[in-house]
Amino acid sequence: MNQARSAVLNRWLALTGAVVLLTIMLLVPGVVKMVVVAFLLAYIFDPIVTAIELRGLSRTASTLVFFGFVGCILWTLFTLLTPVVYNQIQAMRSGAGSRQTSLVILKLQGIVRAKLAFVGLGEVNLAEKIGQLSGYLSDSILDFVVHEGVTIVLYAVTIPFLVFFFLKDGRDMKKAFISIIPNRYFEFALDLLYKMDVQLGNYLRSQFTDAVVFGVLATIALWLLDVKYFMFIGVFAGMANLIPYVGPIAGALPAVAVALFDAGDVTKAIQIVIAFIVLKLTDDMLVQPLLVAKGVHLHPLLVLLAIIIGGELFGMLGMLLAVPATGFVKVVLQESVVTLKKYRFTD
């Protein structure tokens, strides 16, 4: 078989493979989520593996060292957090709030009955309602853990597995992808891919670093304010901070809820709100200008639309990934237009 025919055959095979893969991904939506999350994580952690590689290790060994390190951290966190989460769920299920909690609820009930009697809330039993809600919430969490257990385990196993191979073989995968591009567009595609790599890498890493910094700062603030489960809530706040506008509020809510319904301390709840406002201002004025790449500026309206669409399609995960995904599309379009102008494809 001559070279030309074998090149065309390879191209068709690769294309067919890609179509089959895409069809499977579309038929099984969970696969899309896993691949997207794994791809983004691999993208974020790639420089760390490359830095390990610089010490003279092979790519496989570097990836293994990185996974060993992350594994140790995750195991430590898991060991530390599991009893905390379990106790929290148990406490919520028993519905036994502290004395202060009951006092706060009674105080709130008094205010609601006095001020909102005209809308028919004169005889409301807030303690019972909160008890019902709390029980419902804990049952929902347990239901979620029990019913989604298999999916959670599947995700917990598959995503690291995919991340490992994306990190280890990412360069070869990129090379294989480039090899199917026709000769005339090959240098253009390569140029575009390299530029996107730089822009997108900076953007994703800066977002991730910002989330980590916000999470650490929130954890320290909550620890200083002596909030229960400060570590758990801090991590959640860091992750929620990835969602613009809604994220910081969603991050502060669990801490306020713990302060109000667990400790029954209104002053502490106000302190937490103030702490989160200060944190968000620090993040907006100091951390983000230093970290977040200036190249990918997204219009607030576009960000909100992306979050709504992401949420509708993939739930919480979709909301988390909406902004990076929109940033990705913007970088692709921006770089395509700039690079395309330099090549004479019409000749």
Partner 1 sequence: MGVLSFFGLQKGEGKKVRFRDTLRSIPIFSELGRRELAAVERILHKREYQAGEVIFRQDEPGLGMYIIESGRVSIRSDDAVDKMTELGDGEFFGELPLLDGGSRSATAIAKTQCRIFGFFQPDLFGLIERDPRLGVKIVLSLAAIIGMRLRAANERVQSLLQEHAAVHAAAAGKRRAASRN
The residue ranges that bind partner 1 (CB under 8 A) are 2-4, 6-7, 50, 53-54, 171, 175, 178-179, 183-184, 186-187, 190-191, 194, 197, 339, 342-344, 347
CB closer to partner 1 out of 46 and 283: 46
Which C-beta is closer to partner 1: that of 32 or that of 53?
Answer: 53
Closer residue to partner 1 (CB): 50 or 125? 50
Q: Given its phi and psi angles, is residue 265 left (phi above 0), alpha (psi -120 to 50 degrees) or beta?
A: beta
Residue 191 Cβ vs partner 1, minimum distance, rounded to whole Å: 6
Of the candidates 315, 311, 291, the one whose C-alpha atom is nearest the C-alpha of residue 303 is 311
Report the nearest approach of partner 1 to the CB of residue 160 (Å): 24
Instruction: Give the Cα separation of 110 and 125 in Å (integer).
Output: 10
CA neighbor of 252 nearest in space, from 210, 221, 292, 207: 221
Tokens of 23: 């069809």
d(CA 123, CA 114): 10
Minimum distance from residue 233 beta carbon to partner 1 (Å) = 39
| Nearer to partner 1 among residue 34 and residue 52 (C-beta) | 52
The two tokens of residue 213 are 């910094």
Question: Of 11 and 228, which CB lies nearer to partner 1 in the complex structure?
Answer: 11
Name the minimum Å distance from CB 13 to partner 1.
Answer: 15
Q: Tell me the CA distances in angstroms from 109 to 101, 102, 121, 137, 267, one per residue in order.
A: 12, 10, 10, 21, 18
Within 10 angstroms of residue 68's Cβ, the number of other Cβ atoms is 9
* Nearby residues of 59 by Cβ (< 8 Å), 6 or more positions away: 49, 53, 168, 171
Q: Locate 215 and state its tokens.
A: 């999470």
Question: Tokens representing 12?
Answer: 């068709």
For the CB of residue 198, give the shortest distance to partner 1 in the complex, in Å.
9
Give whichever of 193 and 231 is closer to partner 1, judged by the CB atom.
193
Among residues 332, 321, 340, the alpha carbon closest in space to that of 197 is found at 332
143 is written with which tokens? 């239901």
Closest to partner 1 by CB, 50 vs 151, is 50
Judged by beta carbon, residue 15 or residue 285, the one nearer partner 1 is 15
327's tokens: 């940033």
Least distance (Å) between residue 244 CB and partner 1: 31
Q: How far is the CB of 259 from partner 1 (least distance, A)?
A: 48
Query: Shortest gap between Cβ of 53 and partner 1 (angstroms)?
Result: 6
* Nearby residues of 113 by Cβ (< 8 Å), 6 or more positions away: 121, 122, 123, 124
The Cβ of residue 282 has, within 10 Å, a number of other Cβ atoms equal to 14
Q: How far is the CB of 200 from partner 1 (least distance, A)?
A: 14
Nearer to partner 1, 76 or 179 (CB): 179
